[in-house]
């Protein structure tokens, strides 16, 4: 009933979006086992795209394809293309370290380096021989991650003394410090309490003005709360992950086109 109305968009969601990443006919195997099959998906620039689906459907595998973290997994093999600013990131001439600088990643469990807060943020710049004012960049990154006020007096103490939520925001700051274009987050809040989770969500919402964010979550409500676009991935009868539906979050959560999506978001899955 909503769809038939021609309504002005509530959110500043342009009807036409500008894709920064285009996933084309992507299939992934780990060894003999196929994980993902024929995924086609666009990641709109400066928007939050949520990838949701049941555990084990391959959504983490999917975002790990976007910065080639899958290269680290022995036996991982892909077919198809991932175009980042229209360049195939799996082309032989691509510099993977530069790709990973431009497409940063935050993991499920906070994984700060066992070093000081400052060093955690600064390291990504140090290894590139950064010549500018390191203090400034560290401060800016921590500000962006809404962590500065909490840590500004203890920058040189161990990052491991921070709470889980703070550690995860530190990991976001660390990723932002190297000035990426895209930030991938693999269930960044699944190990956090609800308050810390909401804090991360607010933060993502804020930085989405300047960064493209892709967040993997098995938490349907979280996908609904923070994202502009939602992609739903589900395994088929051969347990290969397939993209079931993709679109503006407001449409997916009020009027999904696919019965399977409807069952999943209404909790009638399985």
Partner 1 sequence: MKGKWLDETFRAFAFFSTLIGILVLCLLLADVLKDGLPRLSWKFITSFPSRRAEEAGILPALVGSAMLLVLTALFAFPVGVAAGIYLEEYAPDNPFTRFIELNIANLAGVPSIIYGLLGLEIFVRAMRGITGGRSILSGALTMALLVLPVIIVSSREAIRAVPKSIREAGYALGATKWQVVRDQVLPVAMPGILTGTILALSRAIGESAPLITIGALTFIAFLPPLSLKALQSPFTVLPIQIFNWVSRPQEAFQANAAAAIIVLLLLLLSMNAAAIYLRNRFQQRLE
Partner 2 sequence: MPRELLDSEIERLQNEVLSLGEMVERSILEAVQSLKTRDFEASRRIISQDGAINEKRFSIENDTLVLIATQQPMASDLRLLASILEIISELERIADYAKGIAKINLLIGEKPLIKPLIDIPRMAQKAADMLHRALEAFVRKDVETARAIPKEDDEMDALYDQVYRELMTYVIANPANIEQANYLLWAAHNLERTADRVTNICERVIFTVTGEMRELDVSEDIRERWARQAGEKP
Does 242 engage in binding with partner 1 (CB under 8 A)? Answer: no
| Token pair recorded at residue 204 | 């993502």
**Cβ atoms of 91 and 130 closer than 8 Å:** no
Q: State the nearest-atom distance from the C-beta of 99 to partner 1, in Å.
A: 7
98 binds, among partner 2, partner 1, none (CB under 5 to 8 A by kind): partner 1
Work out which of 59, 68, 100, 250 binds partner 2, going by CB under 8 A: 250
When binding is defined by CB under 8 A, the residue of 17, 107, 148, 269 that contacts partner 1 is 107
Distance of closest approach, residue 224 Cβ to partner 1, in angstroms: 27
Return the residue of 8, 74, 129, 270 that touches partner 2, per CB under 8 A: 8
Draw the binding track, 166-185, toward partner 1 (x: CB under 8 A; -: no contact): -----x--xx--x-------
Contact pick of 3, 31, 94, 98 for partner 1 (by CB under 8 A):
98
225 binding partner 2? (CB under 8 A): yes
**Least distance in Å: CB of 200 to partner 2?**
12
Q: Which of 224, 231, 234, 243 binds partner 2 (CB under 8 A)?
A: 224
Q: Note the residues at the interface with partner 2 (CB under 8 A).
A: 2, 5, 7-8, 10, 195, 198-199, 202, 205, 221, 224-226, 249-250, 253-254
């Amino acid at each position: 009933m909503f769809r038939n109305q021609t309504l002005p968009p509530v959110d500043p969601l342009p009807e036409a979006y500008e894709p920064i990443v285009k996933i084309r006919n992507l299939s992934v195997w780990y060894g003999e086992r196929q994980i993902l099959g024929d995924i086609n998906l666009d990641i709109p620039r400066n928007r939050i795209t949520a990838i949701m689906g049941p555990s084990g459907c391959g959504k983490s595998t999917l975002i790990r394809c976007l910065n080639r973290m899958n290269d680290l997994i022995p036996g991982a093999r892909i077919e198809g293309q991932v175009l980042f600013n229209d360049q195939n990131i799996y082309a032989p001439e691509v510099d993977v370290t530069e790709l990973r600088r431009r497409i940063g990643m935050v993991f499920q469990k906070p994984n700060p380096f066992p070093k000081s807060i400052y060093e955690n943020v600064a390291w990504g710049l140090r290894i590139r021989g950064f010549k500018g004012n390191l203090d400034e960049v560290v401060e800016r990154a921590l500000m962006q991650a809404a962590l500065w006020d909490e840590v500004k007096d203890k920058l040189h103490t161990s990052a491991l003394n921070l709470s889980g939520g703070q550690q995860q925001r530190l990991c976001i700051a660390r990723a932002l410090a190297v000035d990426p274009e895209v930030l991938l987050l693999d269930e960044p809040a699944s190990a956090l309490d609800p308050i810390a989770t909401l804090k991360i969500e607010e933060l993502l919402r804020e930085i989405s003005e300047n960064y493209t964010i892709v967040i993997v979550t098995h938490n349907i409500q979280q996908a609904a709360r923070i994202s502009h676009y939602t992609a739903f991935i589900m395994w088929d009868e051969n347990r290969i992950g397939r993209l079931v539906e993709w679109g503006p979050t407001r449409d997916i959560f009020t009027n999904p086109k696919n019965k399977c999506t409807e069952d999943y978001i209404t909790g009638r899955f399985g």
